[in-house]
Chain A
Amino acid sequence: MPKPPLSDPSVFESGLEFAIDARRGGFHLQVAGKFVAPWTVIFGPSGAGKSTLLRLLAGLDVATLVRVALNGRVLNDDKRRFAVRPGKRQTGLVAQEPSLFPHLTVTQNVGYGLESMERIGRVHRVEEMLALVGSTELASRRPQDLSGGQAQRVALARALAPGPLLLLLDEPFSALDGAASDALLERLQAWVAANRIQVVMATHDATDALALDAEVLLLGEGRNAAQGPAVEVLAAERERLKNRLDG
């Protein structure tokens, strides 16, 4: 299967535009940017503000300044007067913790965002999503009977099911081993390319960012340090990884 050109900027005309100024205790996040590539990786060490940024993009938090627009549609204006609520932004988020609903089965979890769909369509959609993340056999299980990696797969299926325009991933495969994570990423890449879903993924793992050949936003201590294709922005990280493998 040929790899879709994930860093091609022409796919999303206006993409995701944002400007954010947020204070959390002593931490000050001040970033602005425009993501037009189908797959953008936010790369930075722990504590760089990746999760805070994703939560603000998803509309879950308020801050001093949040301006977000997706494909030309304003989701937050900069006066704090207007904010589209989560769930109406066509934005999905898979957080670090899978946060599955503990009283519902895997099928019910994945179907939670499909309330407006009729029953038959919902059943098919859930099956399709579980097949995509390779978890068909988990359908009738409860979250407490899942491993960490299984729960992350189901959380991904749940976020994808309603068909968002923008999918935010916050270290979504941390509980999967390397091979399983690579296989899932490859299927996910093909899926989002075919369904024209824009992805923004936060990670502190340079191998993920480099393997995806995506656009990269380098985040350091709450500021954007650089943005560009992975091979350029992460050149230093790439050297470090190569040296470790060779040496």
Chain B
Amino acid sequence: MDLQAFLLTLKLATVTTAILLAVCIPLAAWLVLGRARWLAVIEAAATLPLVLPPTVLGFFLLVLLGPRTAVGRGIAAAIGHPLAFSFDGLVVGSVIYSLPFALQPLVAGFSAIPASLLDAARLLGASPSRLVRTILVPLAKPSLVAAIVLSFLHTVGEFGVVLMLGGDIPGATRTLSILLYNQVENFDYAAAMRTAGLLVVFSLVALILIYSRSRTRLKPQTERSRA
């Protein structure tokens, strides 16, 4: 088994999930609390990665972040190397690719919080950021867990974007799903089976751990609220 690819996949998923939370919690709060009609445009754009084939997304990012555009040249000048075919580039691609998987559970969770609680907090002088910290996030914990699990595992399983944007550089962009693709191409089915099995077992174990934890944490609360 390729430990390097495994660790790289974990690193990519962890960094991506952290960035997604930092971006999506304020974004979801803004979508839920804001009243402007054009917020629907933002929500639609943020859902687009869900319906586009990952290769389309990867292709656009490859062109955009490459040396042919001003954006790509600007970033290359700022960080010293082009984003395409680097780990940083993969992070950018993964964040966009997994964005809906972090955003949608958070929007759903925040929307389910009664408006009367938000009104009460506003009347007591809560600023928007305090509203997010003290009301939205604590009351939408299950959605927060779902957002973390989904964006992490979705990034682990990502293939098209990585292939387009990252290529196959050991230690920088060769993730488990790329490794599996290489092994199958080389007719090394035994190694491919180990890699595929590892992906399945890892994802399943992560899901079981998180669902069992959120179960024990949530059950007493729901029972009490019913009493």
Contact = CB atoms under 8 A, between A and B. Distances in A.
Interface string B119-156: 11111111000100011001100000000000000000
A58 interface: yes
Majority secondary structure, A binding face: loop
B220 to A, nearest CB: 11
B135 A101 contact: yes
Interface residues of A, number: 26
For B116, B120, B227, the residue with the greatest tally of chain A CB atoms inside 10 Å of its CB is: B120
A88 to B, nearest CB: 7
B117 A85 contact: no
B216 interface: no
B80 interface: no
B34 interface: no
Interface residues of B, number: 19
A159 interface: yes
Contacts of A60: 119, 122-123
For A58, A101, A142, the residue with the greatest tally of chain B CB atoms inside 10 Å of its CB is: A101
Contacts of B126: 87, 112, 115
Contacts of B125: 87-88, 113, 115-116, 162
B224 interface: yes
Interface string B97-120: 000000000000000001011011
B117 A145 contact: no
B118 to A, nearest CB: 9
Given A102-B139, A142-B224, A87 B122 contact: yes
A58 B121 CA distance: 13
A87 B123 contact: yes
Contacts of A58: 123
A159 B126 CA distance: 13
A150 to B, nearest CB: 15
Nearest to B116: A99
B138 A103 contact: yes
B212 interface: no
A112 to B, nearest CB: 5
B225 A102 contact: yes
A46 interface: no
Nearest to B119: A60
A113 B116 contact: no
B114 A99 contact: yes
A142 to B, nearest CB: 7
Contacts of B134: 101, 112
Interface of A: 58, 60, 85-88, 91-93, 95, 97, 99-103, 112-113, 115-116, 142, 144-145, 158-159, 162
